[in-house]
Structure 1
Amino acid sequence: MRKVVIYRRLTGYKIPNSRIRGKDENYKWVINSSKSPIHSTNNPWGMKKTPREVSLYKVLANLIYEKGENAFMELGNIYLQVIKRRFAQIKEQGDGTFEQLDETDIHWTFNEASNSIAVIVKHMRGNMLSRWTNFLTTDGEKSNRHRDQEFINTIQSKQELLTVWNEGWSVLFDALEQISAEDLRKRVKIREQPILVLEAVERQLAHYASHVGQIVYIGKQLKGNEWKSLSIPKGNSAEYLQQMKQRYGK
């Protein structure tokens, strides 16, 4: 009975139907997203007609209905551990880039339409403070945020850049520690739009990964042959594969 109540609260339906439970092989499962990498935000697939969608709320509710509360909580706890590592890995990519840059590098831009590393970091910090402060209880777009101002550079030195960078990440990691598996199926708001906590976390992960990718790319272009690789260096793939096999292989 508890499963049905949870399902109804999440989805508005009494019990899962055959489509939601995945018995229809032609039914495509996709997660609704308010942001899209391709064309319109209402069309994340970049096509005239999108696949039929099933809400992530229903996916989670179906997991509870089919497998029970304990299965959901176990999966949620595993997810939280994984997502913390993923955010940490993204930050490490930025840290590794900053170590190789000098004072002038952080202000370099390709053209007037481009953002410098300093501006990207300022924007990320503004986003992080807005999204992750009181993450579960307040709208992720805070009234005291001035997003357009984040793209006007005010960072004067590399030391200031590192301070701004670490401030944003500190707020993020503190917020993640406050999220429980139970919280993942709750809703939060971003610009008044209600979305699942799990989706809000994934949305920020993708956002920050894209910006850190920009930072790394700029750093590689500026340092040229002096660049120290932050991943597997070119030409070392086979050697790295053997190392991993020796470490994890039977």
Structure 2
Amino acid sequence: MNEAFNRNWLIGKFGEIRLRTVKALDQLTDEEVNASPDPASHSISALIQHIHSNVQERIAKGILHREYERGIQWIPVFAACDELKRLIEDDMNLILQTLHGMRPEQWLETQIVRNKERTHLDMLHQCAAHYSEHMGQILYLAKWFRRDQYRSTSI
């Protein structure tokens, strides 16, 4: 395992997720981040709250061994745009601090996810992919709400 490569790649990926998600949120109103395009779709607020729960479960609990009990998912709860940005910032700061502080042996320690043992390295890459997928949903919804006024978040 190339520890430096993985650490640097993950730091870059989570930094990109943070930057692009916040840039999208900066363009939206509180009403827009809490709205869904249809009853079968999630709002941006629900997606960010889902990411937060995942960060707490996989990073805070799984890697840092902090107490966390994941609640019921996908219940719509109104959240102001500034509150969602703060949640993203806090979550990404936790991930980045964790990555910077991981000792070599921690990368291959394991945690149980859906009854399967997975290394922290594997979980961090899985989280990067998972959050990127949800970032894509958030960017799509932001573009859908803003239409012609949407500003690209590409780096």
The SS at the match of 2:28 is coil
Q: Is the 2:15–2:92 Cα contact (8 Å) retained in structure 1?
A: no
1:2-45 deviations in whole A, cap 9, x for unaligned?
Answer: xxxxxxxxxxxxxxxxxxxxxxxxxxxxxxxxxxxxxxxxxxxx
Gaps of 5+ in 1: 1-71, 233-250
The counterpart of 1:205, out of the listed 118, 123, 128, is: 128
Summarize the alignment of residues 1-250 of structure 1 with structure 2, pairs less than 5 Å apart.
Answer: 72=1, 75-136=2-63, 138=65, 144-146=69-71, 148=72, 150-231=73-154
- Secondary structure of residue in 2 paired with 1:104: helix
Q: Give the unaligned 5+ runs of structure 2.
A: none
Superposition deviation, residue 191 in structure 1: 3.9
Read off the aligned partner of 1:145 and give its amino acid letter. R
- Kindly report the root-mean-square deviation, in angstroms, between the aligned alpha carbons of the 2 structures: 2.1
Say if 2:56 and 2:68, in contact at 8 Å, map to a contact too.
Answer: no
Structure 1 length normalisation: TM-score?
0.56
Q: 1:122, CA displacement in angstroms?
A: 0.9
CA contact (8 A) 1:135 1:175 kept: no
Distance 1:112 1:192, change over 3 A: same
> For the Cα contact (< 8 Å) 1:125–1:168, is it kept in 2?
yes
Q: Is the 8 A contact 2:61 2:68 kept in 1?
A: no
Deviations 1:48-102 (A, max 9, x none): xxxxxxxxxxxxxxxxxxxxxxxx4xx2122211211111111111011011111
* Alpha-carbon distance in structure 1 between the residues aligned to 2:127 and 2:118: 13
- Structure 1, 90-99 or 182-191: larger mean CA deviation: 182-191
Separation (CA, whole Å) in 2 of partners of 1:143 and 1:193: 19
Identity of aligned residues (%): 20
Taking structure 2 as the reference length, the TM-score comes to 0.87
Distance 1:206 1:227 in 2: 24
Structure 1 pair 155/171, CA: closer, same or farther in 2 (3 Å)? farther
Distance 1:167 1:230 in 2: 20
Q: CA deviation at 1:230?
A: 1.8
Deviation of the 1:213 alpha carbon:
0.6
Larger Rg: 1
Higher relative contact order (CA 8 A, sep 6+): 2
Report which of the two has the higher share of helix.
2
Aligned residues: 155
Instruction: Report the CA distance between 1:160 and its aligned residue.
Output: 2.0
Give how far 1:167 is off: 2.7
Q: Which amino acid aligns with 1:204?
A: C
Q: Contact 1:189–1:195 (CA<8 Å) still a contact in 2? A: yes
